[in-house]
Amino acid sequence: MIETRITKMFGIKYPILCGGMFWVGRAELIAAVANAGGLGFLTAATYPTIEELQDDIHKAKDLTDKPIGLNINLFAAVRPQPIERWVEVAIEEKIPVVETSGSSPKAIVAPLHAAGVKIMHKVPGVRYAQSAERLGVDAVCVVGHEAGGHPGMDEVTTIVMVPATVDAVKIPVVAGGGLGDGRGLVAALALGADAVLMGTRFMATQECRGQAAFKEWMVNAAETETVYCMKSIMNPSRLAKNSVAEKVVALEKRGATLEEMLPLISRQGPAVVDSGNMEDGLVSMGQAVGLVHDVPTCKELIDRMVEEAEAAQQRLGAIFA
Ligand SMILES: Cc1cc2nc3c(=O)[nH]c(=O)nc-3n(C[C@H](O)[C@H](O)[C@H](O)COP(=O)(O)O)c2cc1C
């Protein structure tokens, strides 16, 4: 057991969270994280209909009696998102923790809190953490430049972002971006965080959706095999380095417009994950892919992280003795 403000607030054994992951973060993964003592977030935007979201929540509840979370992405998407319905579903399904991201959670703080739901808002910068705190969220997750998905415009790494955020807010801070093992967990706690949140590392687990060939690519990839791009179109993203991502980078370098990039950037996630062919499109991935050397179950991963954290702590104890 590792006790922090986050483990107490969310009612979990270990301060290890699996962030919302479009398309891949489904019931099997989120329930496995919960059963292993962490907390994972199903991703509302994954499901084409509310019924499919509800079905996956029910499936996760059948697979675990531990808390499960829901990610509500507030990013202004091309097509309007049913955010109010997602909030209603979180409340109806008695989801204890909602992870918000993408934009200000202002409109949904009051209804979620009225129903007793805790809110962790995920941000890519210190100033956004401060505004979220002013809105009354219960915790913030701050992600650094290493992170898979949307690491923000600031290009500030996790090692600076976390302590800067800890100094700037009073609510618990969760560290995200580039974390993949127990050493990272101890480092994040040392920086003042109350938990870690990982996406990339959890993608290379047995319970995560995805072809074996896709996970094998992750096992073989080095920490250099991601690209950070699309800042020019205000959609900064960290993606696996494949031929499609490299084309996006090249287009961006020559000043291409959103319209010119659209045919490439609309090929996101599902194709690669489900076919296992890395050249099928873009897929979010963080630099922590360089820390992925196997495809364990979530329980094996989390147990190992706790052992590694204890070893790191002993090493520190010897250094500071
Ligand atoms: C494949 C993938 C899909 C993601 N989709 C979402 C998403 O839909 N909503 C969201 O808030 N974050 C999303 N993220 C970000 C993760 O929740 C998390 O913040 C990030 O992965 C942490 O950095 P790491 O990859 O270095 O662990 C995604 C990340 C990955 C790798």
pLDDT tens digits, 236-259: 999 999 999 999 999 999 999 989
From the alpha carbon of 101, which atom of ligand 1 is closest?
Answer: 11
Tell how far the Cα of 309 is from the centroid of ligand 1, in angstroms: 23
- Percent of the chain at pLDDT above 70? 99
The verdict on the CB of residue 172 being under 6 Å from ligand 1 is no
Classify the phi-psi angles of 116: left when phi > 0, otherwise alpha if psi is within -120 to 50, otherwise beta: left
Give the span between the Cα atoms of 55 and 290, in whole angstroms. 34
DSSP state, residue 126: H
- 292 Cβ closer than 6 Å to some ligand 1 atom: no
Q: Which atom of ligand 1 is nearest to the CA of 41?
A: 17
264 vs 144, more confident? 144
C-alpha 48/C-alpha 164 separation (Å) is 38
DSSP E strands in 79-171: the ranges are 97-101, 118-123, 139-143
How many CB atoms neighbour CB 161 within 10 A?
29
pTM above 0.85, yes or no: yes
Q: Cβ(212)–Cβ(302) under 8 Å?
A: no
- Residue 292, pLDDT > 90, answer yes
Helix (H, G, I), strand (E, B) or coil at 70: strand
Q: At what angle do helices 27-35 and 298-320 cross, to 10 degrees?
A: 40
Cβ(74)–Cβ(45) below 8 Å: no
Read off the pLDDT band of 75 (50, 70, 90).
Answer: confident
pLDDT at residue number 230: 94
Secondary structure class of 63 (helix, strand, coil): helix
3-state secondary structure of 158: helix
Residue having the nearest C-alpha atom to atom 6 of ligand 1: 21
Mean pLDDT, residues 202-219 taken together: 98
Higher confidence at residue 262 or residue 34? 34
**Is the CB of 29 within 6 Å of ligand 1?**
no
Q: Indicate if ligand 1 lies below 6 Å from the C-beta of 205.
A: no
Mean pLDDT of 218-235: 96
pLDDT band at 268 (very low <50, low <70, confident <90, very high): confident
Q: What is the mean pLDDT of the chain?
A: 96
152 within ligand 1 shell (Cβ under 6 A):
no
pLDDT class for 78, splitting at 50, 70, 90? low
Band of residue 76 on the pLDDT scale cut at 50, 70, 90:
confident
The whole-angstrom separation of Cα 35 and Cα 180 is 19
